[in-house]
Structure 1
Amino acid sequence: MRAAILCNCTNNTAISPLLFSKRSIFSSSSSLKTLRNPNITHFSSRSLVVETVESELSENAEKKSRRLILLRHAESSGDPYLRDHDRPLSKAGRIDAVNISHQLQQMGWMPELILSRVQNLSDAARTKETLRIMQEHVPGFLEAEVHFVASFYSIAAMDGQTAEHLQRTICEYSRDEIFTVMCMGHNRGWEEAASMLSGAAIELKTCNAALLEATGKSWDEAFSSVGLGGWKLHGIVKPSTAS
């Protein structure tokens, strides 16, 4: 369906480029006959006719940016008497979790879907504790859909497989209307995945987040269109207390 927009412009009137698609057609009064409207008999020489293709505008609007946050959990206590699964956050780790949640909020990178590694039923497990603290201090994180993924714990220790596993998991749990996903896990997998997806050498210390972007109508399309190494690195977010 085509839509015609008539704009009577003066020297002091600016036309917003947001009104026009790349295929917009500009014509003076000499080409108004293309409208074939018998009710239009006269336009001033300053009149513009803008013809846009609505289907194209709709298609472009659907190809929004897909944003992926790869967040490494906050610092653990390092207690040697506890299993790796069971170690809680350190005092510095709890402060970092608060800090990173506010930074992501300020940047507008609020996830609609959170995928986190599951460790055990203990609320003290460090990845779940990181998320709980973020939810307590920034309510927006409570609005996100959350899924705990058991394979996130083991896959991070397997060379070269984390990025592809994240891709499969994100496509499984997400929907087309979800545009920002946060995956929470640990090294070395998260650092490796961020580097493979972006094609850049990325270092993620505890509670660091890699912000990645790609475009697609769906997550499947976003991953397939850019492949490994094609995601744009928007930046690395680090808590101000991090060394």
Structure 2
Amino acid sequence: MNFQTSLWIYKKELKLFFGTYMGPLVLGGTAFLNALFIMILNFNGRANYEEATVVTFVSFMTTILIAMIIISMGSIVEEKNKGTLELLFTSPITDVDIVIGKFLFGVTICAIITVFINGLFPILLYSYWQAPLYIVISGMIGVFLLGTFTYTVGLFASSLAKSQMISLLISVVIILTLWVVGYFSHLFQSTTRKVLFHLHIFSHFISFSKGVLPLTGIIFFISGTFLFLYLTVKVLESRRWRG
């Protein structure tokens, strides 16, 4: 791995994102959806900060999923369609360099959304609802971990697909599968039930919105992130070998 090469890819992705309609669309759209969801759901008869906090971060959960899937769905597939991926393959750039560079870009955008787009609303929670600061911080950490994980799922889907729509579909299927398995875990025996429930994204995320930093949730999102990064590298390696 050459960090300078990964950094070059990272800067290229940032320039492309902020130099086109994608940057304003994703960041502006996320801010708009956050405001819409929170104004409709949060300030409508909420009795206390516990309810307000959970609703706020569930809104963030929805918007970060949408934003990171949109950002990642064309990350690699567009390189294929434009022919630049083959150019990267013939350059002294490894598959790990490509994936790490794109991953750093995704982490940066996720951090921008979490801190600068979502950050305004936890301030309202802290000032208007008198929500404890530790709940606000834990919720923001949960949003960032979920966003990073979602981006790597989309990156993996983009490495498999031949178009952005197929990449989007694969990402949604993976996320929905991890979303719903927990709801059906009670139908299985104890060991299988525990495994399926552990794969339930919502159960891991919701703890963060209640002021808890669950070790299982942190491990789930971080290990899932590294798993999909590894799978993306393997897909690119197989494509390189196939020519």
TM above 0.5, yes or no, is: no
Name the TM-score class by shorter chain.
under 0.3
- In the superposition, the TM-score normalised over structure 1's length comes to 0.27
Structure having the larger proportion of residues in helix = 2
- Richer in strand (by share): 1
